[in-house]
Structure formats: structure tokens, C-alpha cells
Amino acid sequence: MKIQKAHVIRLYPSLTQEEFLCQIGGATRFLWNLALEQRQTWGQRHVLNRFSQSKELTQLRSEVDWLKACPSQVLQQVLSDLEKAFRNFFARRAGFPKFRKKSRGDSFRFPDGKSAPYERLTRNGGRLKLPKLGWVRFRGWRSIPGVIRNVTVRCDAGQWYAAIQYEYDLPEPEKKILPAVGVDRGVVATVAVSGQGRVKGPDAYRKAMKKLRRAQRVVARRKKGSQNRRKSVLRVARLHRTVRRVRADFLHKVSHSLAENQGTLVFENLKIRNMVRSASGTVAEPGRNVRQKSGLNRSILDQGWGMLRQFCGYKTAERGGQCLDVSPRNTSRECRKCGHTAAENRVSQSRFVCVRCGHAENADDNASAVIVKRAVDSGLLPVEALRQHALEAGISVGSLLASRQ
């Protein structure tokens, strides 16, 4: 099967190259905003699409020297991305495209991988050739097994990175015969695996909140457009970058361990975007417990539930496993022994006590076992998968099957 991956490296451009990278980033941002404004103003009256705007781009490049100096393929990719953004909007997969800001960081893509040779120079470094830029040194060497498809360059808090997307053929892996486990994602314990305990996340954002408050307070006191304000904004961006890296590192390690040691991972099909909506309400109908809901939303996003599901998805597929999704309804209120569901079963955030059979344990451990049971109930897993769940619960498979009725 064909696999597409991306390898991220840190670029170390010279002063001339960095200046040209900033120029390309400014040109792509200008073109995106211009094309978006054109569609907003004339889109309903005239048929505007990527092809019609590409013709106008050719004329614009002949009149503007700093646009002509930028690689034409990079500018064409901007119009292609804008077209895709509008398709996602009309299909209700995303919101309306927004204008790009200079402070958000530059990002652009070189679509031709053949024009980007990738060479090794030292143990952990090498050089990458980009159109009109020449050879750019980098750190983070890794042998690429397939064919380079494209290279995306971005600026993150003053540092330049390149994401090299490549494609290679992977032999169809043998199907794993390891047992299935349920994975419950929470706020206090980031991951709870059925029969294997819980894993606590780093809470990277919560730990950095004090530093972020101070840094953002400094930004608010600086004069807009001043050099000191740019330095303060860069300091905030670096703090956010550290938070992202700590979170991603933890989730990569957890997902790698799950994909290596388990055959099937069963998750709750959570609608995270709906779960973290604001509770502020409107002026006519103000929300309740807004501050508490805001803190809960912050904690959910800090755990990276969506990233964990994404990482586990492609890592298990490469190793012959699979990831399944089941309904999340009442998984924290259902007893894994007798199947009784009641709100009174959840005594507290961490304690579960069944009011019917008296079964008591950690609520996250109980929910992870219920998730596996849901997969069998819905036909996603064979009945044999309940054997491990029955052993963990200390009951027979027959009694467990009877509780499903």
C-alpha cells in the first residue's frame, strides 16, 4: 500500500536567503488576501475560480517586479489552496476563508518535489535545494525511503522549517492477533487503557499559563508598530511553540506504545469541536457557569484528544492493527460488570460505584472497558474480544453476554 508522510527539518538560511523567504511569504500573503477580496466583491456577479484568477496572476506578475521575483509555482499554489478552502466552506467542512495576517507567520509550498534535492552533509545535517533560493542548510537528517512530492516552508516564532512530504510503497502488514483494548480520553488522566491503567499528560499549556500571562501583559503595554512590541510578540510565540512541542512529543510516545503493543484500539467517537464551544451565550440569553466551562474547554484542548486519535490511526495501520470508533453516550455511567446505566453510578470525577451490583473502581478504568464492550455490541469486534474484558471484570463470558441483553 502507498503511504504518504512528512519529515520536518529546521532550516538555517543565510541572511540573503532569509530575506528572500520573507519576501516570498509576504507575496503569498498579499496574493491570498487579494484573491479572497476579489471573490468576496465580484464572486457572485462574475464566475471566479482558480483558472480565471491564474490568468490575472500572470498579468500581475508582469507588472509587479517583487511578485515576478517569487517562484511562479508557489503563487499558483496559493490560488489552489484558496479554491480548496471555498470548496470546504460550501461543503460545510470548514468556515469561510479568512484574511491572512503578517503576525501569524508565513507558510508556502513548493509543489514539485523533483526540483528540491535533499542531501546529507553531516551526521545530523544536510542541505536542501529550493527554486530561486539555492542550497539551504538544515538540521534533522533522516533517510527518505520514497519519492519527494512537495516541500512546505513555514516560519514559526522566528525559526524556519521545511516539511518534506514523500510517498513510498509499504508491503501489506500482517494482521495483528493481539487483543483489543479500549482507550478512554480524559482531562485528569489523558489516556486510560482497559486493563493497563492510566497515563497522565504533561498539561503543557496549564503549566505555561503564568509565563504566558506575563508575556501577553507586556505585549499589551507596548506601542503598536514598535520594535519592542515585535520582540514581545515573538516571546509569546516562542512560549506557544514550546507548549505545542511538549504536547506533541507526549502524544507521539503514547500512540507509538499503543500501536506497537496492541492489535485494535477502540475510541469514543467524540465531537471535540462541539464539546469545546463557548458557553457565554448572547446578550439576550447569557450562558451559565461560563468561567467553569472555559476552564474545562482549555483542559480538553490541552490534552490533545484529536491529535492522539490521528496519531494512533496511521501508526496502527502501518503495523497491521486498526482503530475503531464507538458511540460515547453514557460510557462513563455504564457498569462494565452488570451493564446498568445511571447518573448515580458516577460518584465523582474519579470514582465509579454501581448502584445495582456495587462494583467500584476508577471511573476512567471502567469507561475504557465499557468502550471495548460497545465495539462488540455494535459488531465491530467478534464476541471473542469479550474474553479479556471478562477476565478483567472477574466474571464469566456467559454472564457478560447476558448483561448485553
Task: Give me the active site residues, please.
Answer: 184, 268, 364
Cβ-contact 326, 264 below 8 angstroms: no
Residue type, 19: E
**What's the half-sphere exposure (Cβ side, CA atoms, 13 Å) at 150?**
10
Q: Give the residue among 22, 24, 17, 18 at the shortest CA–CA distance from 133.
A: 17
E-only strand ranges, 67-133: 107-110, 118-120, 125-130
- What contacts 21, CB < 8 A, 6 or more positions away? 13, 106, 133, 153, 155, 160
Cβ-contact 170, 136 below 8 angstroms: no
Residue type, 359: H
Interatomic CA distance for residues 127 and 137, integer angstroms: 4
Q: Give the residue among 68, 50, 51 at the shortest CA–CA distance from 59.
A: 68
Total residue count of the chain as it appears in this document: 405
C-alpha cell of residue 190 = 489523558
Cβ-contact 103, 91 below 8 angstroms: no
Cβ-contact 182, 266 below 8 angstroms: yes
Interatomic CA distance for residues 321 and 309, integer angstroms: 14
Residue type, 380: L
